[in-house]
């Protein structure tokens, strides 16, 4: 309820679930695009390029899973964009690895939106995806983070 | 390897601080003065590392198993900490291999 008797329509639990899943899908689609850029800047046939391919495939599969979850709830999975704005310019292998880690951070953050839902099955699925993203980020970055996916502003001081 | 273990320990301290900040203490209760040790290892450095890795993985799995029924923000914190703990496993493995 808001002031002067106005009432704001609250989305249903299903609507909130679809919205959170769409956010995760958008992050996965951006990640798939990002790994295309990553792979293009790694040495052809190198172990790192192989890792990038594996991670790209993981994101494609996760996108498929999310699309199914959205459809099962009566939603329409949003299509991916044709092109995405990169967070920074990539022209070296080191920058490509940094992009991969950044992409994974964003995916983890998007899945935490799904973890916030009350439905236990979705929550567990999303938490496992947060963990998978954090593991991939660690592999690309070579270091760990205390709170993968959580913005610093959300932490209590 | 000491730097890697210190980095991991630092993150656990941060995890504890966030969890404690959300802890509601019942009136009259006091926090336990000493944490219960989980890992008892008196072997080689390699054995200690393996025990640490196993403890990290177990802690991560345990947190993921406790998500049901939690308030949203606490579930997000648990999921994030579980992810962090899982990353400690390959991180410690890499540090051990670099010995």
pLDDT average, residue stretch B35-50: 73
Using CA atoms, how far apart are residues A30 and A61, in angstroms rounded to an integer?
A: 13
Domain ranges of chain B: 2-15+41-97
SS3 letters across B2-56: HHHHHHHHHHHHHHHHHHHHCCCCCCCCCCCCCCCCCCCCCCCHHHHHHHHHHHH
Q: Which of residues 96-135 of A touch B (CB under 8 A)?
A: 108, 111-112, 115-118, 120, 123-124, 126-128, 130-131, 133-135
CATH fold of A14-142 reads Ferritin (1.20.1260)
ipTM of the complex: 0.91
Using CA atoms, how far apart are residues B64 and B14, in angstroms rounded to an integer?
A: 18
For chain B, the distance separating the N- and C-terminal CA atoms, rounded to the nearest angstrom, is 7
Q: What residues have CB less than 8 Å from B89, skipping those under 6 apart?
A: B53, B56, B57
pLDDT interval class at A11 (50, 70, 90): confident
> In this complex, is the C-beta atom of A148 within 8 Å of any C-beta atom belonging to chain B?
yes
User: What's the farthest any 2 CA atoms get from each other in chain B?
Assistant: 49
pLDDT interval class at B27 (50, 70, 90): low
Statement: residue A38 has pLDDT above 50: yes
Residues of chain B that touch chain A, judged by Cβ-Cβ distance less than 8 Å: 7-8, 10-11, 14-15, 18, 21-22, 60, 64, 67-69, 72-73, 75-84, 86-88, 90-91, 94
- Give the distance from residue A152's alpha carbon to the nearest chain B alpha carbon, in angstroms: 12
What share of chain A in percent tops pLDDT 70? 95
Angle between helices A93-115 and B72-97 (to 10 degrees): 150
* Cβ–Cβ < 8 Å for B22, B58: no
User: What's the farthest any 2 CA atoms get from each other in chain A?
Assistant: 65
Burial label for B33, CB within 10 Å (0-12, 13-18, 19+), is: exposed
3-state DSSP assignment of residue A116: coil
Name the residue facing A127 among B11, B73, B79 (closest C-beta): B79
The residue behind tokens 């926090």 is B31
Statement: residue A1 has pLDDT above 50: no
pLDDT interval class at B36 (50, 70, 90): low
pLDDT interval class at B35 (50, 70, 90): low
Residues of chain B in contact with residue A135, where contact means CB-CB under 8 angstroms, are 83, 86-87, 90
> In this complex, is the C-beta atom of A156 within 8 Å of any C-beta atom belonging to chain B?
yes
Greater confidence (B48 vs A114) lies with A114
**Contact at CB, A123 and B67, closer than 8 angstroms:** yes
- Give the distance from residue B31's alpha carbon to the nearest chain A alpha carbon, in angstroms: 20
What Cα–Cα distance (Å) separates residue A131 from each residue in A138, A154, B97?
10, 19, 23
Residues of chain B in contact with residue A17, where contact means CB-CB under 8 angstroms, are none
The residue behind tokens 């899982």 is B86
Statement: residue B26 has pLDDT above 90: no
For the entire predicted model, the pTM comes to 0.90
pLDDT average, residue stretch B23-52: 72
Statement: residue A56 has pLDDT above 90: yes
């Amino acid at each position: 309820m808001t002031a002067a008797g106005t009432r704001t329509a609250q989305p249903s639990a299903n609507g909130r679930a679809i919205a959170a899943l769409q956010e995760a899908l958008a992050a996965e689609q951006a990640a798939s695009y990002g790994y295309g850029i990553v792979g293009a800047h790694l040495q052809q046939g190198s172990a790192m390029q192989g890792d990038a391919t594996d991670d790209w495939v993981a994101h494609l599969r996760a996108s498929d899973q999310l699309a199914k979850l959205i459809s099962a709830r009566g939603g329409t999975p949003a299509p991916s964009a044709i092109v995405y704005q990169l967070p920074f310019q990539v022209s070296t292998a080191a920058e490509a690895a940094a992009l991969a880690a950044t992409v994974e951070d964003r995916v983890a953050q998007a899945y935490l939106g799904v973890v916030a839902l009350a439905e236990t099955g979705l929550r567990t699925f999303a938490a496992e995806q947060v963990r998978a993203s954090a593991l991939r980020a660690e592999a690309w970055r070579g270091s760990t983070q205390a709170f993968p996916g959580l913005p610093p502003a959300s932490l209590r001081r | 390897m000491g730097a890697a273990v210190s980095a991991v320990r630092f993150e656990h301290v941060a995890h504890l601080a966030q969890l404690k900040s959300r802890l509601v203490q019942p009136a009259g209760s006091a926090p336990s003065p000493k944490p219960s040790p989980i890992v008892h290892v008196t072997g080689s450095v390699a054995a200690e590392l393996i025990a640490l890795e196993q403890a990290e993985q177990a802690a991560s799995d345990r947190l993921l198993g406790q998500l049901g029924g939690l308030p949203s923000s606490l579930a997000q914190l648990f999921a994030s900490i579980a992810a962090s703990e899982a990353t400690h496993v390959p991180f410690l493995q890499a540090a051990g291999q670099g010995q």
